A and B are shown apart, each in its own frame.
Chain A
Amino acid sequence: MRNILSVYFIFCLLTVTGILFFPPEVYAVDELNCLQCHKHRGLSRIDEDGNFRLFYINQELYESGPHRHNKCKDCHTDIERIPHDPAKKVNCTQECHIVEPSGQRKFSHKSVAKTLTQSAHSKIDKNGLPKEHQEDYPDCKSCHDQPLYRPFSAFKGDKIPGVSKRAMGRCKSCHTGGDFAEDFYDHVTTRLHKTRFPMETIEVCAKCHEDEEMRKRHELDDVITSYKETFHGKLLTLGSERMPDCLDCHIVAGENSHLIESKTEPTSAVHENNVSTTCRASECHEKAGPMLAGFQTHVTYDRKKYPLQFYMLVFFKALMAFVLYFFLVLIFLELMRRLFPTFAFFKEKKREDYHEYVKLIKDSNRNKH
């Protein structure tokens, strides 16, 4: 009897500890208990290629992303038992267990992958042949390295980050079951504005477009640096969210955001015939004339490509150097002159009476009048 009581007591203690230290919702989608290991921050190893790999899953971040209802095994399909062998790379185009409500079909990113093959970032060229330097072209995770929701609420004209409790109250009056209202809210409001802060978008593109080796291989200009030189880039850096990032100009309005085309394609948003339409979009330079398209955004100050800007820059640099060096040397010498105020290689005539000089001025002034 005593034994049974003590077992019961220990059982109660464990349960209480469990409730206190492991809140139940944390493990909602983790049916397979993967987090038992992956919750540890240090879980990592050096892989065969010598790269450091971190396998820690931040539960809080995972819960604030669009994949929060996917079970681990929905994507990591090759894992059969625990502990598992090194997992294969996830194929984002496979069908997952979530049913897409508009078409009642299992969800897949296949259509996105298809759009990507029609864009400038495709691994294959127009004839279906693999392009050179295959490994340079991005896959899903090159850009979507941290898919997170960024919900917002608009209350009395002000945009406020996060879920609107006021809106949620209205949803919940009908949609009472489960987390449906929250999910739908996150899903929709995240897409009503930029999913990322514009500066993050620039950084995503910069991962490749700022890489000097890669730019050389593909003969690309340093568009990141030249973008940051523009008013758009500078105001973004200073925290404005109203300025356009890469995607705003390089995607045709209403098009799939994965269809970024080269400026040589006639359908591209930045093809010379389309630039004026892109700039004069309703949210941007609406009142501008078509000639605004002549503005050069990605100026590299290359002498052959941008002669006007190059020579203007040379002129102003020369002017600045001349003026500043002249005066800085002058100021320096003047300060030095104070150290030896009376010294000179050639002295003025000593015997001259300064009254004579006063008379000289007096006479010359009289003549003027």
Chain B
Amino acid sequence: MSKRYAPIVRKDGKLYFYRFSAHQRVQHVVLFSSVILLALTGFPLRHAEEPWARPLYDFMGGPNIAPLIHRAAGSVLLALFVYHTIYWMTLFYKNHIVKLREEKRLTVRSFFKALLSLEMVPNKKDLFDIIHLWKYLLYFTNRPPRHDRMSWREKFDYFAPYWGIPILGPAGVALWWRDELSHYVPGIVLNAAYIMHTDEALLAVLFLFFVHWYNVHYSPEKFPAATVWLTGYLNEHDMMHEHYNEYISIMIENGLEHEIKPQSFGGKDYEW
């Protein structure tokens, strides 16, 4: 990670904004590869009676191989969860705790304040942005919301797996090591694990398919696919559309204040 990424890159007269480090992008690739494998080997089992289940399951290796793939991908996903937790905690320690300690301001209060100021943590502005978005969608205002570095949608997309994995993962591990586990816990725990695993998986997959893929694939701006997960850079149009506040801040920080464009309202520039 020694290479420095410029916050703003100008290419062919267009501006691109740096958003995700290579480290984060690799984590995302590991995340979606394992989730796709898990869904392909898990859902034929969940819907075994459907006509598509048998051919898909056979394609994924059948009753002897598919469970091995499922468990391997699940292990990778759980490892990624642990890794990511260590990753953000390390960043949090480096960027906040060390600083607070140097300034001798580290108290329980300042610790939690710093924790809540992290860019992925939902805050009051997100609530106002949601309300503003509904106002906009129901034609009560003609100005779309102006988001910070992370919009509430991205936070939701982030916390969907971050809440889903701790539910799906341990339940999956319990069903995997059912025999060993039955020495310590009653069998009904497996009944609970079974419901947790299958129903949370359905929610996760439906959310990914409809909501996340709308955000990054189906929506007219992104179709057929957004590229930020691959390059780490977001184009100016989407940056203004999705993170107008962040756009202004970055432009000012990089001495491009004179190039800041007004927020676009439904394709047309709003008359300021």
Give A contacts to B, CB under 8 Å: 228, 231, 233-235, 237-240, 242, 285-296, 299, 308-309, 312-313, 316-317, 319-320, 323-324, 327-328, 330-331, 333-334, 336-338, 340-348, 350-354, 357-358, 361-362, 365
Contacts and interface: CB of A to CB of B under 8 A. Distances in A.
Contacts of A357: 248
B266 A337 contact: yes
A313 to B, nearest CB: 6
B249 A316 contact: no
Given A235-B45, A238-B63, A292 B182 contact: yes
B47 to A, nearest CB: 9
A308 B193 CA distance: 11
B263 interface: yes
A365 B48 contact: no
A285 B141 contact: no
Q: Which of B58, B184, B202, B214 has the most CB atoms of chain A within a 10 A radius of its CB?
A: B214
B12 interface: no
A354 B272 contact: yes
Contacts of A293: 187
B131 to A, nearest CB: 13
Contact of B203 (A231, A308, A319, A347): A319
A348 B248 contact: no
Q: Which of B141, B179, B270 has the most CB atoms of chain A within a 10 A radius of its CB?
A: B179
A341 B191 contact: no
Given A238-B53, A295-B187, A344 B180 contact: no
B170 interface: no
B183 A333 contact: no
A357 B175 CA distance: 55
B143 A291 contact: no
A238 B54 contact: yes
A330 B129 CA distance: 13
B263 to A, nearest CB: 7
Interface residues of B, number: 64
A333 B139 CA distance: 10
A341 B266 contact: yes
Contacts of B187: 291-296
A263 to B, nearest CB: 16
A90 to B, nearest CB: 36
B63 A240 contact: yes
Contacts of A312: 192, 195-196, 199
Given A291-B183, A295-B187, A324-B207, A348 B195 contact: no
27 contacts: A231-B175, A231-B194, A235-B45, A235-B48, A239-B54, A288-B183, A290-B182, A295-B188, A295-B191, A299-B191, A331-B210, A333-B137, A333-B138, A338-B220, A344-B140, A344-B142, A345-B139, A346-B141, A347-B141, A347-B142, A348-B142, A352-B272, A354-B260, A357-B248, A358-B248, A358-B252, A358-B260
B211 A331 contact: yes
Contact of B265 (A316, A341, A365): A341
Contact of B48 (A233, A294, A353): A233
Interface of B: 44-46, 48-49, 53-54, 57-58, 62-64, 133, 136-143, 175, 178-180, 182-188, 190-192, 194-196, 199-200, 202-203, 206-207, 210-211, 214, 219-220, 245, 248-249, 252, 257, 260, 262-263, 265-268, 270-272
Contacts of A365: 249, 252
Q: Which of B46, B190, B263 has the most CB atoms of chain A within a 10 A radius of its CB?
A: B190
Contacts of B136: 337
A285 B257 contact: no
Given A292-B182, A296-B188, A343-B139, A320 B48 contact: no
A334 B138 CA distance: 9
A285 to B, nearest CB: 5
Contact of B214 (A294, A323, A331, A353): A331
Nearest to B136: A337
A346 B141 CA distance: 5
B178 A288 contact: yes
Contact of A320 (B188, B199, B220): B199
A327 B215 CA distance: 11
A87 to B, nearest CB: 40
A313 B179 contact: no
Q: Which of A293, A295, A312 has the most CB atoms of chain B within a 10 A radius of its CB?
A: A295
Contacts of B48: 228, 233-235, 237-238
Q: Which 5 pairs across A and B sit closest by C-beta, in order of nearness?
A: A341-B266, A294-B187, A295-B187, A289-B183, A240-B63
B249 A361 contact: yes
B179 A285 contact: yes
A345 B267 CA distance: 18
Given A242-B63, A352-B272, A361-B249, A327 B203 contact: no
A231 B141 CA distance: 52
Given A285-B178, A299-B191, A309-B191, A328 B210 contact: yes
A354 B195 contact: no
A217 B271 CA distance: 76
Contacts of B272: 350-354
A309 B252 contact: no
A141 to B, nearest CB: 28
